[in-house]
Chains A and B, each alone.
Chain A
């Protein structure tokens, strides 16, 4: 089974080498989509022997993910895993995501920090509040009983990847993927994952303004 890891990356030179070294222990097919970084992100990924795709101009994480997924499908991937570049995710958790798919239990596995008690303790309070609001919002819009709506760790079969249509270029893609799962009745399982919170990743992560933008983007998308 060919497993491809897709890592959308923008200006992650500080942490990317460690992230890739961690992944390379377990996986061979790592695709880094450099979303027009203006630091050495792309060079680091190339030095680490990854497949690097370059966006000439910055288009957003959703767009970068879609580029990576499209390439993985061209390479006849069987399973596609999405993974963040900021060091928040652990490579060991990927096995937990992939195993249910290998055992034909579902089309997609979604990482959830709220199932893992160890992870829950470390979530900053305001971030936890925003994530909980996002969960309520997603339950209304996607009618999906998930516990974590904005976790970048997920795995899917190639067939599921072909069905899911990501139109949102920026952060709203996370909610959009869940809406696509619901729309196409894809089967999914949530898997506990540990999120490593650092000052770096918290600074890079989403803030209140981002959540407002996501809701606005999704609302306008539905009006079109």
Chain B
């Protein structure tokens, strides 16, 4: 029960950050909706852990926690890959900028 309360407070804190970022236009509406759903799911499974057993059965796993962890790991790997690709793109943009400045001086 204590853990559920701690998780709930953390989720509320995270949601408040997301909302503040949306209000100062650091993130758009899509990001607001996405993160609200994601944190909402965290809150949902924190209070109703047995509901994850349905997901576990579909995936052929014995426990809901395993299912949630497995899905989380896959999603995290994909998120890291997307971040890496984005980072590479930004690096190329910086290189283009540096090159244009170098050539402009000549």
Contacts and interface: CB of A to CB of B under 8 A. Distances in A.
Interface in B49-102: 81, 84-85, 88, 91-92, 94-95, 98-99, 101-102
A55 B88 contact: no
A167 B95 CA distance: 10
B94 A57 contact: yes
Contacts of B101: 56
Interface of A: 33, 51, 53-57, 59-60, 63, 66-67, 70-71, 74, 167, 169, 220, 223-224
A223 to B, nearest CB: 8
B1 interface: no
20 contacts: A51-B106, A53-B102, A53-B105, A53-B106, A54-B102, A54-B105, A55-B98, A55-B99, A55-B102, A56-B102, A59-B94, A59-B98, A60-B95, A63-B98, A63-B99, A70-B99, A71-B106, A169-B92, A220-B84, A223-B81
B106 A67 contact: no
Given A59-B99, A70-B103, A167-B92, 20 more contacts: A33-B102, A53-B102, A53-B103, A55-B99, A55-B102, A56-B102, A57-B94, A57-B98, A59-B95, A60-B95, A63-B95, A63-B98, A63-B99, A67-B99, A67-B102, A71-B103, A169-B92, A220-B85, A220-B88, A224-B88
Contact of A169 (B81, B91, B106): B91
What 5 pairs between A and B have smallest CB-CB spacing?
Answer: A53-B102, A59-B95, A67-B99, A63-B95, A55-B98
B74 to A, nearest CB: 16
Most buried by A among B85, B88, B94, B98: B98
